[in-house]
Amino acid sequence: MDLKDLYRDVILDHNKRPRNFGMLAVPPAHEARGANPLCGDTLRVWVQLDGELVTDVKFEGKGCAISVASASLMTEAAIGHTRAEVQAQFERVHNVFTHHDAPLDPALGKLAALAGVRDFPARVKCASLAWHTLNAALSAADAEQPSATPPTVQTE
């Protein structure tokens, strides 16, 4: 299967049937919000941790197919992994979005489908939004004092 087919199939599937769509209670979960004003995508991401392990991730949002599918893929990639593994996967995905000619790391697995967005540079922010929002939620978990309002990231 070439990258274009993989991209189309995975994005369509995860947009039609988003995985881990919903909310988690805060606390114990941590929430962050994300917005991509260029496209109008908005996301809320909740992360639940047990020590260094990401035990659950859920998201809600409105946006284009790519933003929803990428958020769905992000939850699958994060749940059940350590924060260090999630960080490594974030960096691989970020590399896909920012280095258009970089070879795809086999460790990306199904996330390689996101590389299809490189053919549509205006959509990269749609695809990266969920990942930046996840990072913000993990950072919120590190805050000593929980903030009354969840952190918000905005793609630039």
Burial class from Cβ neighbours inside 10 Å (0-12, 13-18, 19+) for residue 75 reads buried
> Binding residue for Zn ion (CB under 5 A) from 67, 89, 133, 155?
67
> Binding residue for Zn ion (CB under 5 A) from 53, 64, 88, 108?
64
Question: CB under 5 A: which stretch of 35-43, 50-58, 137-145, 147-155 binds Zn ion?
Answer: 35-43
Query: Which of 20, 34, 43, 36 has the alpha carbon at shortest distance from 117?
Result: 36
Size of the site for Zn ion (CB under 5 A): 6
With contact defined as beta carbons under 8 Å apart, do 132 and 45 qualify? no
Shortest Å, Cβ 146 to Zn ion: 30
- Name the residue nearer to Zn ion (CB basis): 61 or 150: 61
Position 130, amino acid:
A
- Name the residue nearer to Zn ion (CB basis): 31 or 41: 41
With contact defined as beta carbons under 8 Å apart, do 33 and 96 qualify? no
Residues 69-88 binding Zn ion (CB under 5 A) are: none
Q: How many CA atoms lie within 13 A of 82 on its CB side?
A: 4
By CB under 5 A, tell whether 135 contacts Zn ion.
no
